[in-house]
Structure 1
């Protein structure tokens, strides 16, 4: 039974990752209204007409439905056969976040909402993926969340502060997409050919996100340097901080590629999905470090 639970946990994490990526595609392709103002039907049908926008939106809905069924099965088996309280917490939070984002998605179709609320939809998807990833890790060698070395309070503060700040940066990125402000800054690293552009409208929104992303990179770089200096002998802390730096570096690069590809619609959609997927991985590694700091208190 343990192997079945592990497989379902892995499928859940993969499914949540796919939902997050497809949600980013829905936003980038402006397909959120691809099924009109109907839910769960799409233009009055279970199988909609084969337009691009309806196909993207309906595929996203279908994947959410299938993954939700997998989560329910995983939830039952974890509470029935797994004794670890952290596993029960992770699957509970995954299910809760998935249900909330599904409800928000349905409401967004029926009653159009502000960009501030729509951006939160991606944030909830990110949390759902992070919890599902932690659940999957429970059944691996990384799932024994006790670090090999005591962690200083300063490092713990840096980990948690960086993780919370990363969520804010991700929210700003989602807000950029939902306000269709991406074109506010043409070119990278300069914005409209300027180091500091006129901070109005879409340009101000995009430039704020860029500065926030730069500060996030510096925070994770500081996290990595501290881990290398003090915790290189701890495989788990070293693993999490190293991959957090790798993914935030890829995030910066992919953000630049998204800007450069704005003239090509296909490339723009593809790079936007890649950017969202890298963001999810980065946040997942930061959450893993947070769990290590929590369990250090019990060591």
Structure 2
């Protein structure tokens, strides 16, 4: 039975990552209205007429439906056969975030939402993926949170600040996409040829996101240096913070590529997808570090 539980936990994480990626594709291709105002049908049909936008949107809905079934099975298996409280919390969080996300997606189709609300949709997908990833890790060696050395209070505070601030930066990035503001800053690292451009309209939105991303890099650099200073090189805090730093660097580079590819549709779409997927890895590592701080010297 443990083999089946692990399999479904892994499928849940893979499925949530796929939902996140496909959601980014829907946004980038502006296919959210590909099925009109109908939900769960697509333009009044169970099998929609073939158009690119309807195919993308309906495929996204189909994947969400399949993954939801996987999550329900995983939820049953975990509560029935797994005694660890963290596994139950993780699967519950995954299911809850997925349901809220699905309801918000349906509401956005029937009743058009503001960009502020639509940006939250990606944030919920990210939380659902993080919960599913943590659940998957429970059934690996990384699910053993026992430590020989206490985690310093200052590091715990920094870790939690980093994950919350990362979520804010992600939300700003989603807001940039949903307000179609990517073209507000032409060029990188300068914005429209200026160090500090006029902070209005799309330019202001993109520039604020860029500054927030730089501050996130500084924050994670400090987190890694603190981990490296106080813990052994093999410690999971050091490994996790190192990978978080690597991912935030990749996120910044991919953001630059998104800017450089504006005007080239295929390259812009691909770069935007990669940009969205990298942040999943970044947020996942930060969430894992925070879990380590919660279970510091706690017994199951």
What's the TM-score, normalizing by structure 1?
A: 0.98
User: Using the alignment, how far apart are the partners of 1:231 and 1:256 within structure 2?
Assistant: 33
Conservation of the 8 A alpha-carbon contact between 1:147 and 1:234: no
User: Using the alignment, how far apart are the partners of 2:288 and 2:239 within structure 1?
Assistant: 10
The farther-off stretch of 199-208 and 232-241 is 232-241
1:173-252 matches, within 5 Å, as 173-252=173-252
1:70-109 matches, within 5 Å, as 70-109=70-109
User: Using the alignment, how far apart are the partners of 1:147 and 1:186 within structure 2?
Assistant: 48
RMSD of the TM alignment (CA)? 0.9
83 and 188 in structure 1: CA distance in 2 versus 1, 3 angstrom threshold: same
CA drift of 1:297 comes to 5.2
CA drift of 1:29 comes to 0.6
2:111 aligned with 1:111 = yes
- State the secondary structure of the residue aligned to 2:295: helix
User: Using the alignment, how far apart are the partners of 1:255 and 1:12 within structure 2?
Assistant: 28
Conservation of the 8 A alpha-carbon contact between 1:147 and 1:236: no
Moved over 3 A (4+): none
User: Using the alignment, how far apart are the partners of 1:210 and 1:36 within structure 2?
Assistant: 34
Question: CA offsets, 1:79-118, max 9 Å, x none?
Answer: 0000101000000010000000000000000000110000
Aligned residue-pair number: 299
User: Using the alignment, how far apart are the partners of 2:262 and 2:292 within structure 1?
Assistant: 39
CA drift of 1:146 comes to 2.7
What's the TM-score, normalizing by structure 2?
A: 0.98
CA drift of 1:147 comes to 3.5
2:56 aligned with 1:56 = yes
The farther-off stretch of 230-239 and 136-145 is 230-239
User: Using the alignment, how far apart are the partners of 2:179 and 2:118 within structure 1?
Assistant: 10
**Residue in 2 that maps onto 1:125:** 125
User: Using the alignment, how far apart are the partners of 1:17 and 1:221 within structure 2?
Assistant: 26
CA drift of 1:298 comes to 2.3
Conservation of the 8 A alpha-carbon contact between 2:233 and 2:239: no
CA drift of 1:235 comes to 2.5
Conservation of the 8 A alpha-carbon contact between 1:26 and 1:57: yes
The farther-off stretch of 227-236 and 171-180 is 227-236
CA drift of 1:232 comes to 2.6
CA drift of 1:230 comes to 1.1
Structure 2: which 5+ runs fail to align?
Answer: none
User: Using the alignment, how far apart are the partners of 1:104 and 1:126 within structure 2?
Assistant: 14
- State the secondary structure of the residue aligned to 2:147: coil
CA drift of 1:233 comes to 4.3
2:158 aligned with 1:155 = no
**Residue in 1 that maps onto 2:273:** 273
